[in-house]
Structure 1
Amino acid sequence: MAEHIRIGDVAPRVHYVADGAQTVFIYPFPIFESADLEVRLDGLVQYDGFTITGAGSSEGGRVVFAAPPAAGRQLLMRRVMLIERVTDFQPNGVLRAKTLNDEMDRQVASLQEMRENLTGAIRADPGDLPARLVLPARSGRVNRLLGFDSVGNVTAVPRDPVLLAPFGGAIPRTVEDKLAERLSARDFGATGDGVSDDGPALQAAMNAAAASGKHLVIGEGTHRTTIPLTLPGAAAGLTMRGSILYAGPGGVTALTLGDGAAARNQAKLYQGLRVLRATITDWLDERDIGILLRNLDASVVEVRQVEGFTIGTRTEGVELGFEDTTMYLGRFVNNRIGLDVHTATASGWNNSVRYIGGHFANSASTNPTRDRFGVRFSCAPGAYPRHNAHFFTGPAFELQRQGSPGTVAAIPFLLEAGDERGIIARGVRMEQCSPNVARHAGGANDCLYEVVYVGTYAFTGADVEYTATATRAGGTVIPLHQASAAQGTPRLVAAAENVRRRAFRQTIDNVDGIGFEQMAVLSGNPSGPPANLNGFAFAGLSQFALNPDSVGIPTSRALAFVVDCSVCKEFFIAAEGSELRPIVMQFDASEAVLGATNPALLSNMNAVWAGSPSFFWEGNADLDSLVGGLPINRLQRVTLHANARFAAIGVRGGSANAVLKALRLYCSPLHAPALLFGGSRKWGTREYGVTDAGWVVPNLAAGASATRDVALPGVRQGDFVQASFAKSSGFQNGGVVFHASVGGTASLDQVRVTAQNVSGGSITVDAGTLYVRAVKPRV
């Protein structure tokens, strides 16, 4: 074991950041005595509250605190020795090795301390040429600044020197003028230590920026404020390198940027915005807003983080609009509404804004019983509602829907202003959200949501929820979990390429009625009225005008395709003709008609409830009507109510001159709904048939015949009828032929079948099954 301390090449200082729990801290350098170790917390020397062990050990030792330093405090331990001579060697005395080693160890330790202290001193570089770095005499440096002359020697310069940029054409400027180019919040006393109330200093800096028209910089650190802050629109902009921690009263906006009223804030730059609330709100008061941006035009905004508010960030058109601005979105955490696109007055607007990125998230424990939304479009009562041309690129949402199934709404987009247009979101990511990418509560139109990932529901979890107040089916969802080619190819459900060609004589519902293959005829005033699908969908009614290449439809009649909509709730209807009004009828799982409490929606026009007895939901305009000179009504989305299981979708006459040439029905390629007609349904089919297994044909002599009357509901004179026969066993002799004609003992709904022996001998046919077929003639 060594008899003296070994002084290794170890820096005689060590730093720690306390975590609030640790009490023992190691110093890895040797000390001779406990008094040689200086302990500082946050720069202040500590004299008690701890013990020091390890003095005299080459490996160092430990400092043990009686109570752990608070988390975040800066701990410094360094060796600080008294520089003194404590030994004396006697002439001709014994020179002991330990005494000599101790003396040398102290000198080495002192030199290490000196080297460590010199690292923080201003000094010339070793490779630099010799320079005179001695301060000028006191009289020569009074009220002057230190500087360097042309050879690098220290000199004194005036306190108000001028600066010159090292480029041609530069002009001299004072230091004050140069420093005033951009204001810093620290110029006004802001500390950014997270403890001091920087609110008054920040507001003073913002007022100065507005008064001078300068750009304000809020530096690194956490700037705590107990007052709401406003940067007027006269300031050139704001850059935040740190954050604002709002610790003031509720019901206010923490940071307001730009002026309201009739001021226009053009070409502003707000970057690095970070506003956090000291405590998360209960989400009940929408006046709790993190960042409010007012009346911006042609500006650039970067929101890096906003957290803990009822509304994270609100963009607002006041007396003038918020428009033509690009917003870079960062983290929006634990806000009920992450981004609120808002208007405050009838003369304010909020249009043509581009949003890049954005991560909207909530923790599972944050207000778990309250609905939450990523982006909301809203307006004050009576304010401008038509937000339009908003484009989102790559937003991500983790809103925590709470429960399975979700007990609260956790929806990325909420459109409740009432008349939004052209809201487009590309590359949407959804995780732990509701099975809806958007909720529409009004007349939103021409909206598109491209969903690239749904972590909980796969591609089936991306759709639009329409509330009871919605008047348009204005949202399209494209889930990219399927092949993009399929997404771009709608499925054709039914097509009447030539409606006139489908017309045939139909006499089931009334004499000389007109039916249409695969299509149901609807009446605007059915007697009764009926109560279910089979009662409302007629096989044929009169009053259709059959033109050479089209069909005239009166206002009291409609033609429709009937579909099974138990899975698919969205269809697209396209019609060729003039003055045609789209109509929809809906039925539940038992085929009972649905009433006014189960609205259907159209995309480019409002759906109006026609009421009893027709039970139509119909458009408030014709498909060929112009809106602003444009034919935007020609293709209509039809969104059915969630209770609908069957639906009739088609057109009626919008006027007495309505003409229909072609009608088509489409849906998403994800679905393949069934088209209902014929079979057990009486509408949409020209052919009727019946089977009779009870006929025993008697022995027929040469030329003899036997007859049998078969009931066939719907058969009328003029129908094409046929009969065939199959014996129960064996082969039917070809010498007996079967004829069919309309009528028998009864004049309606009956076909007489005649079995005639056309051979020259007797034939026994015996028992078998008779098949009868009737086909309605085209007209």
Structure 2
Amino acid sequence: MDDHIKIGDVAPRVQYQADGVQTAFPYPFPIFGPEDLEVRLDGLPLAAGFVVTNAGASEGGSVVFDAPPRAGARVTLRRDLIVARTTDFQPNGVLRARSLNDELDYQVAVLQEVKEGLGNALHLDPSELGGTTTLPPRAARANRLLGFDSLGDIATFGRDEGLMTLGFPGAVPRTVEDKLAERLSARDFGATGDGATDDGPALQAAMTAAVASGRMLEIGEGTFRSARPLVLPGAAAGLLMRGTILYAGPAGQAALTLGDGGAANNQGKRYLGLAVLRAVQSDWSSEADIGIRILNIDACQVEVRRAERFTIGVQLAGDARGCEDSELRYGRIIDNRIGLDLRTLTASAWMNSLRHHGGHFACSSATNPGLARFGVRLSAAPGAYTLHNTHLFVGPAFELQRQGTPGTVDAIPFLLEVDGRGLTATGIRMEACSPYVARHTGGFSDARYEVAYVGTYGYLGCAVQYQGATRAGGTVMPLHQAAAAIGSPRLVAAAENIRTLAFRQSISVSDGIGFDQMAVLSGNPSGPPSTLNGFCFAGLNLFTLNADDVGIPTSRALAFVVDCSGCKEFFIAAEGTGLRPMAMQFDGAEAVLGAGSPVLFSNMNAVMQGPPSYWWEGNADLDSLTGGLMLNRLQRVTLSADAQYAAIGVRGSSAAAVLRSLRLYTSALHAPRLLFGGSRAWGKREYTASDTGWTVPALAAGATATYDVTLPGVRQGDFVRAGFAQSSGFQNGGVVFHAAVGGTAGTNQVRVTAQNISGGSITLGAGTLFVRAVKPRL
């Protein structure tokens, strides 16, 4: 450059805060070359991604980034020269002013950097003289804190003296005791953990301190015996346990309560490693005898290592609010009547969206052997909110000891006493349990149990037991069977196009209509009947046969009749409008069953119509909307254990009811028999009979002979045909047989006419006469 660089009194450092748009940042101090400028972004040096301009200019230049630094980023530009002599003046050589100026400029620039560095260093104020600023020897300062004495000189202190500040930006000065007390330890309050000393007062004092300070409490290794119930209110940050609480306090109380009752929010807490053991096995007489009680959790993490020997091992409870959106993990939940209880206590509480992982829910064979026991219970206090929903259980194991084969006490993994919907349990292990994975006693819907293993010394099943329930809300997937088959339901019966199945059936009424393979039921049968054959009609009137569907009045139902002796679970799928699911049940003698043998539907309540119809029906239409969703479209139908035969189908709920198609399914484990035709009057369009009592007389040319055949069910208008067979000697071409409905008795008879159409006399003699009648399609 023509002009010599000038080193002004400008600090060799400048900082900016990026706005996300600007790319060029000026530096007001001179540099000799681009390599002399250090560029940092948020304190980190950059080696590329920018260009340095105007190196060698007295007024400085700019740094131009390839892309704008993000908004808020700190940009630091600093001159950083190499401290080294790179030139030398030769003896007797020419001393040029420019060379000398360059050397002096470089030295001034380096001194500016040294001055700036010293300004950022720890040093005494210029007004201070003397004092000790040298660090003590290594041995003298080891394991001690560095500070200043009363004269302001450097000194060292013990860790329990004065304040300390960690080496992080913004660290708050505090005592060592305060630092160590960030997490409280039960031993800080006198708890021994020796299993013999009553640590209850010390543990409660620690919990009270954790609440007052809002800190996490730690209960370390050991066995902490407590003769009193312990409570850690929700104001504490949480609880970490590595040891075990041995509860030796009064019966009928919760050994450990976490969180508050009322409206206090137990939110975002961590309760880890919880372990409570009752010193003496509970007799299960009081449900207030609880191991760990957790109140009103929301977005919490809970880990229960063990809860043993109580009536209820672990209870999640909600009162003025509820429990939701939390992750829970379980270990040994042993020798409790109810391992885990999810319970609402008031009408304003809830129990929703909880994810449960693992857990070994087990009982010893000698523990209260005459009493029922359950792994997980969903419950509500009287008058409390019952609509529990969305619980996920992953990999729970149940070994509940049903006491003998077959079991003599109830030992059932899940007990659902509430309404609500949405429980999914996957990877369930059942060992020595009852042949039920769940018992439902309320109106719970949409519960799915995926059973991975059943060990009962011979597979006894893992069904859902409905005991006083109002909904058939459970589905079981036993994975020890072929999974693909279990996942695909079996079609029992299908009326893919109900309109094409209608035919004239005047057995019951003169203008009756029947349907292939289906029974017609009346809402007001005369009598009333008392048996299956009396209630299931072959055909009735009042149906409307439209071009592509069938109108069903409120007084009629169409049903498939099944042998349900080995299968009690069916599914109805229907297309149409204004249709309600229905089911009628019969015992092994085909006598009708009444209100004492309830039928359950999955997404609606069942209503018993009582005499004279005796059928159960849903309280909503299959095509009705629930919250804008067609939850009723596919209905599970769960029959009573008393039922051996059942008619399952739909009835019209209004004058505008229309049916287009109807299907009946069941689990792939079963293939129930469909009843129609044969000895049953319904669902049969074709009638046949054979008769060996006619010896056709000798027929002259053109002569005829008649014979009447009894064919129950045949009526005028039916299509009838006749055939005649002899063991030998039949003159096939000479005699023809005609058939028509009617005879001497008229009803249930077909008259057969044999006509000789040959030119000579024919004698047929004895043979077998076959008659066939077909009801006309409508």
Tell me if TM exceeds 0.5: yes
Secondary structure of the 2:609 match is strand
List alignment gaps of at least 5 residues for structure 2. Answer: 1-136, 148-155
Give the corresponding residue for 2:51.
Answer: none
8 Å contact 1:459–1:481 — kept in the other structure? no
Q: CA, structure 1 residues 175+615, in 2 after alignment: closer, same or farther (shift >3 Å)?
A: same
3-state SS in 2 of match to 1:611: coil
**1:500-511 superposed matches below 5 A:** 500-511=499-510
Contact preservation (8 Å) 2:184, 2:218: yes
Name the TM-score, length of structure 1 as normaliser.
Answer: 0.79
Secondary structure at the counterpart of residue 764 of structure 2 = strand
2:738 is matched with 739
After TM superposition, the structure 1 = structure 2 runs for residues 463-502 of structure 1, keeping only pairs within 5 Å, are 463-467=463-467, 469-502=468-501
Match for residue 384 of structure 1? 385
**Residue identity matched to 1:262:** A
Q: Distance in 1 between matches of 2:460 and 2:631?
A: 29
Q: Would you say the 8 A contact 1:726–1:732 is kept in 2?
A: no
What's the offset of the Cα at 1:159?
4.0
Residue 228 of structure 2 aligns with an amino acid whose one-letter code is: I
Secondary structure of the corresponding residue to residue 211 of structure 2 = helix
**Equivalent in the alignment of 2:426:** 426
Task: Give me the whole-angstrom Cα distance separating, in 2, the residues matched to 1:156 and 1:501.
Answer: 100
Residues 303-322 of structure 1 correspond to what in structure 2 (within 5 A)?
303-322=304-323
Q: Does the 8 Å CA contact 2:160/2:176 hold for their aligned counterparts?
A: no
Residue 293 (structure 1) aligns with:
294
Structure-2 change in CA distance of 1:457 and 1:756 (3 Å): farther
Instruction: Kindly provide the amino acid, as one letter, of the partner of residue 531 in structure 1.
Output: S
After TM superposition, give the deviation of residue 759 of structure 1 in Å. Answer: 2.0
- Determine the C-alpha separation between the residues in 2 that align with 1:192 and 1:381: 40
C-alpha contact 2:505 2:514 (8 A) present in aligned 1: yes
- Aligned equivalents of 1:148, 1:183: Cα separation in 2: 23
Question: Following superposition of structure 1 onto structure 2, how do residues 110-509 of structure 1 map, counting pairs within 5 Å?
Answer: 147=144, 157=158, 159-165=160-166, 170=171, 172-417=173-418, 419-456=419-456, 461-467=461-467, 469-509=468-508
Partner Cα separation in structure 2 for residue 607 and residue 442 of structure 1:
13
Which residue of structure 1 aligns with residue 677 of structure 2? 678
Amino acid in structure 2 at the alignment position of 1:277: R
Residues 770 and 292 of structure 1: CA distance in aligned 2, closer, same or farther (over 3 Å): same
The alpha carbon displacement at 1:536 in A equals 0.4
After superposition, the Cα gap between the structure-2 partners of 1:694 and 1:178, relative to the gap in structure 1 and judged at 3 Å, is: same
**1:725 CA displacement:** 1.2
Contact 1:459 1:482 in 2 (8 A): no
Tell me what 1:696 maps to: 695
What root-mean-square deviation, in Å, do the aligned CA atoms of Structure 1 and Structure 2 show? 2.0
Q: Which amino acid aligns with 2:294?
A: L
Distance in structure 2 (CA, Å) of the matches to 1:727 and 1:573: 49
Q: In 1, are the aligned partners of 2:144 and 2:159 still within 8 Å (CA)?
A: no
* TM-score normalised by L of structure 2: 0.79
Cα contact 2:365–2:401 (8 A) shared by 1:
yes
Distance 1:407 1:677 in 2: 40
Measure how far apart 1:617 and its partner are. 0.4
CA shift, 1:675, in A, is 1.0
User: Alpha-carbon deviations, 1:150-202, whole Å to 9, x = none?
Assistant: 9xxxx974741544545566565421121111100000000000000000000
How far does residue 708 in structure 1 lie from its aligned partner after superposition?
0.5
Indicate the residue corresponding to 1:662 in structure 2.
661
Look up the match of 2:636: 637
**Are residues 158 and 455 of structure 1, via their aligned partners in 2, closer, same or farther at CA, if it must alter by over 3 Å?**
closer
Q: Give the match for residue 778 of structure 1.
A: 777
Distance change (3 Å), C-alpha of 1:645 and 1:757: same
Q: CA deviation at 1:731?
A: 4.6
Query: Structure 1 386/760 Cα, relative in aligned 2: closer, same or farther at 3 Å?
Result: same
Q: Alpha carbons of 1:269 and 1:768: their partners in 2 closer, same or farther (altered >3 Å)?
A: same
Helix, strand or coil at the partner of 2:218: strand
Aligned to 1:549: 548
Give the residue type in structure 2 aligned to 1:758. Answer: I
SS at match of 2:177: helix
CA distance in 2, matches of 1:202, 1:757: 112
CA contact (8 A) 1:145 1:159 kept: no
- Where does 1:737-776 land on structure 2 (aligned, <5 Å)? 737-776=736-775
Per the alignment, do residues 652 and 157 of structure 1 end up closer, same or farther by CA in structure 2, a change over 3 Å counting? closer
Per-residue deviation at 1:733? Answer: 3.0
SS class of match (1:461): coil
| Distance in 2 between residues matched to 1:388 and 1:168, nearest whole Å | 47
Deviation of 1:704 after TM superposition, in Å, equals 2.0
Kept in 1: contact 2:159–2:176 (CA 8 A): no
The verdict on how the C-alpha distance between 1:495 and 1:185 changes in structure 2, with shifts beyond 3 A counting, is same
Residues 327 and 707 of structure 1: CA distance in aligned 2, closer, same or farther (over 3 Å): same
Q: Secondary structure at the match of 2:717?
A: coil
CA contact (8 A) 1:257 1:293 kept: yes
Q: Name the SS for the 1:210 alignment partner.
A: helix
Check whether the contact 2:184–2:210 (CA below 8 A) recurs between aligned residues. Answer: yes
Partner of 1:627: 626
Shift of 1:483: 2.3
SS state at 1:593 partner: coil
Provide the C-alpha distance between the structure 2 equivalents of 1:761 and 1:460, rounded to a whole number of angstroms: 75
Cα 1:664–1:293 shift into 2, 3 Å: same
Could you report, residue by residue, the CA deviation over 1:384-420 in whole angstroms, capped at 9, with x for unpaired residues?
Answer: 0011000000000000001221111000000012x13
Alignment partners' CA distance in 1, 2:611 and 2:774 = 34
- CA deviation map 1:6-50 (0-9, x unaligned): xxxxxxxxxxxxxxxxxxxxxxxxxxxxxxxxxxxxxxxxxxxxx
* Residue pair 1:581, 1:651 contacting (<8 A) in 2 also: yes
Amino acid aligned to 2:364: S
* Structure 1: gaps spanning 5 or more residues: 1-130, 137-143
Amino acid at match of 1:566: S
CA distance in 2, matches of 1:156, 1:522: 97
Shift of 1:736: 1.6
The answer as to whether partners of 1:396 and 1:430 remain within 8 angstroms in 2 is: yes
Deviation of 1:565 (Å): 0.6
Shift of 1:148: 9.6
Residue 376 of structure 1: SS of its match in structure 2? strand
Q: Distance in 2 between matches of 1:453 and 1:248?
A: 38
CA–CA distance in structure 2, aligned partners of residues 590 and 730 of structure 1? 49
Quick one: distance in 1 between partners of 2:619 and 2:502?
28
Maintained 8 Å contact 1:458/1:481: no
Query: In the comparison of the two structures, how many residue pairs are matched?
Result: 635
Q: Cα deviation per residue 1:219-246 (whole Å; 9 max; x = unaligned)?
A: 1100000000000100000000100000
- Aligned match of 2:594: 595
User: CA 1:454/1:381 → structure 2, altered by over 3 Å: closer, same or farther?
Assistant: same
Cα separation, 2, equivalents of 1:252 and 1:229: 10
| 1:43-58 equivalent positions in 2, closer than 5 A | none
Structure 1 stretch displaced more, 455-464 or 590-599:
455-464
State the identity %: 69
In 2: Cα distance, 1:728 partner to 1:636 partner: 55
